[in-house]
Chains A and B, each alone.
Chain A
Amino acid sequence: MAFINYSAREINCKLVYYGPGLCGKTTNLKYIYEKTAADAKGKMISLATETERTLFFDFLPLSLGEIRGFKTRFHLYTVPGQVFYDASRKLILKGVDGVVFVADSQEERFEANVESLENLKANLREQGYDFDKIPVVLQYNKRDLPNAVALEELRSALNPTGKIADFEAAAQSGKGVFETLKALARLVLQELKKGSR
């Protein structure tokens, strides 16, 4: 749930990057961090192993301008993708305002994507959220790799109704990274406006 600090005129939102292991969640955050002006970002914290596998989460505070006199601060988190760390993922989803589901386009990761999406739905349900109502954006990452599955195939498995906004990306080069983030930020702010009515 977003936190609104009326005296400081700030809105704090929590966005979580979810997806199977090695799909590129941390790469998304690193790219955002690199390309954001110093005064708009805080310290990026990675609780990772020395081999750069996310151990607990990555954390990046970002300022995304003002809305009706309120500064918007987005706290970006990633979850550890490895199946083993489910307890951490549940913890990180607490108080979430929006989710980016990062899918790995590689053929051999097809099943892992489906499993991870199911895991996201189950964990959200456990926290009292409805996957169909919470702001969610899908990102098909690693589109630049030669073994990437056809987009339609991925869509039919992960976004069969087509109701979720989805983006193609190659996070290493930055393609689609900001488009995904902007789309989710927009959805979260729309949701906030609904709530304030």
Chain B
Amino acid sequence: MTRGGLWLAAALLLVLPLDARSDDPSAETVVIQDASGRIVVVPAKSAAKRPPPVESETPAAREVGECEAHEAIISKWLKARERVIAAQRALEYAESIPLSGMGRYRDVRIRRAESELALAEKRESTADTTALDRGVPQRCLDDSHLPSADQ
């Protein structure tokens, strides 16, 4: 069964009570998937109170999501760093433009590069990198978190 098929089956199990013929609604039980991803049988009443698990909340999907989120944070910060370096180079270039005959053009380029650099530095310093403090989870470093070819 494909991963999509599995989720469909799990979703169907969620809405189908095990004992639909019972007259006493409190006696009804349903099969649900709990927060840790286990399939459990619980009274329909308590199941109704729980929000249905969505794919991204299950452990496997959560792992993929975590790895992707980590990757996104790293690449966002790296981009911010690259932008600072690029702005520094742009400013260096602007300052190398000869004053004679190109003074006005030089001034414009310098001003533009300076504001770009200030913005890039601000972006870099305000980037939320707290998730990096915990380090990249080991499972994100190999392919084990990726769905296999048959899924």
Q: Do residues A59 and B135 form an inter-chain contact, with CB atoms below 8 A?
A: no
Partner of B74, one of A43, A47, A95: A47
Chain B contacts of A52 at CB under 8 A? 135
**A5 at interface by CB-CB < 8 Å:** yes
**B137 at interface by CB-CB < 8 Å:** yes
Partner of A5, one of B88, B134, B141: B88
Chain A contacts of B31 at CB under 8 A? none
Interface segment out of the listed B9-17, B125-133, B143-151: B125-133
Q: Do residues A46 and B114 form an inter-chain contact, with CB atoms below 8 A?
A: no
With A5-B91, A12-B88, A42-B125 already in contact, the answer to whether A49 and B135 are too (CB < 8 A) is: yes
With A12-B88, A43-B129 already in contact, the answer to whether A49 and B136 are too (CB < 8 A) is: yes
A:45-100 near B, CB below 8 Å? 45-52, 55-56, 59, 95
Q: Do residues A46 and B88 form an inter-chain contact, with CB atoms below 8 A?
A: no
Chain B contacts of A55 at CB under 8 A? 135-136, 141
**B55 at interface by CB-CB < 8 Å:** no
Chain A contacts of B141 at CB under 8 A? 49, 55
Chain B contacts of A4 at CB under 8 A? 92
Partner of B136, one of A3, A7, A48, A59: A48
Chain A contacts of B77 at CB under 8 A? 45
Shortest Cβ gap from A27 to chain B (Å): 15
**Alpha-carbon separation in the docked complex, A43 to B141 (Å):** 24
Chain B contacts of A6 at CB under 8 A? 95
Q: Mark B76-94, 1 if CB is under 8 A from A, else 0.
A: 0100010001001101100
Q: Do residues A51 and B125 form an inter-chain contact, with CB atoms below 8 A?
A: no
**B117 at interface by CB-CB < 8 Å:** yes
Shortest Cβ gap from A179 to chain B (Å): 28
Chain B contacts of A47 at CB under 8 A? 74, 132, 136
Chain A contacts of B117 at CB under 8 A? 5
Q: Mark A1-29, 1 if CB is under 8 A from B, else 0.
A: 00111111000100000000000000000
**B2 at interface by CB-CB < 8 Å:** no
**B30 at interface by CB-CB < 8 Å:** no
The chain B residue with its CB closest to the CB of A45 is: B129
**Alpha-carbon separation in the docked complex, A8 to B95 (Å):** 13
The chain B residue with its CB closest to the CB of A7 is: B114
Closest 8 CB pairs of A and B: A50-B135, A3-B88, A48-B135, A49-B135, A49-B136, A50-B137, A45-B129, A55-B136
Residues of chain A whose beta carbon lies under 8 Å from any beta carbon of chain B: 3-8, 12, 42-43, 45-52, 55-56, 59, 95
Residues of chain B whose beta carbon lies under 8 Å from any beta carbon of chain A: 74, 77, 81, 85, 88-89, 91-92, 95, 110, 114, 117, 125, 129, 132-138, 141
